[in-house]
Chains A and B, each alone.
Chain A
Amino acid sequence: MKKTILTVDDSRTMREMLKATLLGAGYEVMQAEDGVHGLEVLEGAMPDVILTDINMPRMDGFGFIEGVRRDSRYRSVPILVLTTEGEPEKKDRARRAGATGWIVKPFDPEKLINAIRRLAA
């Protein structure tokens, strides 16, 4: 069965890049445009890995991660943070919110797929 990845990013460019990369690697892709949308899309779905941006309108990545982790159904879903921001305090905040990992944008497709592959294994 194909693994499903949920990506949450407000940038259409990023969404398209992620989609192209993930589809190319044989994953099913679900996409959302911000944290609120992400939680909506998550309803009734069970992605194998979640990729999320931090800086988004309505609900940012921290809020989204906390929201996902609050829901017992999604406690074991790995969440990778994908963001341009690399400051340690932001990393730490995402980690405390419940993020599994961190990938700095612009992402190296190969590295991203490697990370997803091992998390979705």
Chain B
Amino acid sequence: MSEEKVEAKRKLIEGGKRRDGRGPEDIRPLHFEVRVLKNANGSALVQYGNTKVLAAVYGPRDPGARSMALPHRAVLRCRYHMAPFSTHERKSPAPSRREIELSKVVREALEPAVITESFPRTAIDIFIEVLNADGGTRTAGITAASLALADAGIPMRDLVAGIAVGKVDGVLVLDINEEEDMYGEADMPMAFMPSLGLITLIQLNGTLSEEEFWSAIELGLKGAEKVYEAQKEALRKRYASVEQV
């Protein structure tokens, strides 16, 4: 292990502050913008600090092959993908096992929000591109995709707000970045439909006691509320300015 890594491992939290200056329950600066692409039916650019994710939605549209359609609802097709330049070392653009798994859990985090019954025999395509990765990319991807779905005018039960909670140096922290994910003890990404009080994604990589797990859920919910407010603000900003024209 290099000197730099040993250094990083020793003190992710010092004097109650994280290495980027945040307190344990602080979220990174959020910047959300919808309708950032011309061609897609809906799109969003989402930033949590240096994590930058673009999402686009096409559809509801013809699924192409009939075998890909369902008679009573739309199918969701979802791809989570990292751009080759998004990571410190170049990432091969071929889909990794991680990206295949995350495409599935991200789709399953969005399925309960979309009112798919309104569009039988169609497909709704959700494309998520991680442009710059600094931790929490799947949760940022979910946040972005749900904004893009809303921007596409697809009826939803609620927005889906993603946030990751971690444990570093024995402390639960909100919205972990890559360094904290790498050298911390746990990473627990979550997604919520906040107005309905529903959890649509939960994963844990690492170890937590049961007590820590319940605290992490509460902390995640708190963070998701902030993400949710920023999502609604981004939609309001876009559509309020349309009205003024």
Asked if chains A and B come from one complex, the reply is no
Interface residues of A (CB under 8 A from B): none
